[in-house]
Amino acid sequence: MPISHYQCSQCERKFEPGSVTYTCLTCGGNLDTHFSFEDDPSQVHQSEILESKETSLWRYAPLLAVPDPGFENTPLHRVGLTPIYQPEKLREELGLRTLFVKDESCNPSASFKDRASAIVISRAIEANIDTIIAASTGNAGAAMACMAASVGKRAIILAPRSAPPAKIAQLLTFGAEVILVDGSYDDAFDLSISASNEFGWYNRNTGYNPYTVEGKKTAGLEIWEQVIRFLPAESDLNVFIPVGDGNILSGVAKGFVDLLALGWIKKLPRLIGVQAEGSSAIYNAFIQKRNQIEPVIASTVADSISVDLPRDGLRALNRVRQSSGFFITVTDQQILAAIPQLGSAGLFVEPAAAAAYAGLLHALKSNQIDPATPALVLATGSGLKDINAAMRSVHPAPIIEPSLDKLKEVLRV
């Protein structure tokens, strides 16, 4: 779908397509991408999507900022359309009427970040760009490395040296050029922008490149197709999203905003951003009713949402307010406890994904949501991304001699 214009999410200045690459030239704010279907919804028909045989995010090509690049038999064409589960055991334990969990671990690199990378890499294909650089704590880099490798593009990843080894292993295995930065994610972010400006490389950073939101909005489109259109017309939906720099929430919200413009939904689902207590810059602004994000010194077991200065914080803050939602924080203890709780329903998630479920638990306990309202948890990444955190969340397995007596003793049978 042709882009009609970009608009700054802060100062609202508009830009013609091709006149800007990353952020607002006036204030540096993040850009929202706008399409002609917003003025003429008849350009896109629901049936075109709902009757599509495509089983990836490319089924939404009529609503995307880049055309389907092909590469049907590669990971680039296997991103999205992830499953939504209804774990009855958890629903009953929580006393909810309806519970959905969207499992993003089924993406090619096992995280939500494949969505943004698929669109960014497709943009690189469209623009004949060979080298893409990004800062990442692991998941975004792994996603970009995976997508880049599948189509023969060069990927350079700057990651903090504290990133989990399993994520670094993914980056290296996909053939990316990985440089570990002796500093934070924010340090890596700033360095990647400097390198991009110096060498002319295309920058994939979330909260910087507007195509990342366009990739992440596909989760919102899927939630509509898989859940919202089957709910009663008057029904609300509480959507729990883990938040670090804010870009995932902004992306999911953009999907809902586009659907609202098309008239396919009548109101926005209620967005609930979940931050780790040790990385709560956006939550702080929400609670203090500020329109400015003050940086924190982030420290949390959930590395994927550990951010000092959220690069898409203001837009995420505004999207939550627009949806009549709220932000909530959870402790590392609550995050770790949520890992085996989801595991009891057959879902193996990393700490950031567990944070969203911990946020649901906290919101219920504090009476911030109605148990009768359907709730959806966005589980953003596989537990295989951070085995150390998974092991911290459970009791270690006993070691016994290979005898039936010892087995009986341990199992108490």
DSSP 34: E
pTM: 0.95
Provide the pairing of β-strand 31-35 with 3-8: antiparallel
63 band by pLDDT with thresholds 50, 70 and 90: very high
Nearest C-alpha neighbor of 218 from the set 143, 74, 119: 119
Find, among 82, 112, 81, 87, the residue nearest to 100 by Cα: 87
Contact between 271 and 249 under an 8 Å Cβ cutoff? The reply is: yes
Q: Among 152, 115, 114, 113, which residue's Cα sits nearest to residue 132? A: 152
pLDDT score for 233:
83
SS3 188: helix
Q: Cα(116)–Cα(76) distance, rounded to whole angstroms?
A: 11
**Dihedral-angle region of residue 128 (phi above 0 means left; psi in -120 to 50 means alpha; beta otherwise):** left
pLDDT digits (tens, 9 = 90+) for 247-267: 999 999 999 999 999 999 999
Q: How far apart are the first and last CA of the chain?
A: 64
Could you report the per-residue pLDDT of 21-62, keeping only the tens digit for each? 999 999 999 999 999 999 999 999 999 999 999 999 999 999
Dihedral class, residue 324 (left if φ above 0, else alpha if ψ from -120 to 50, else beta): left
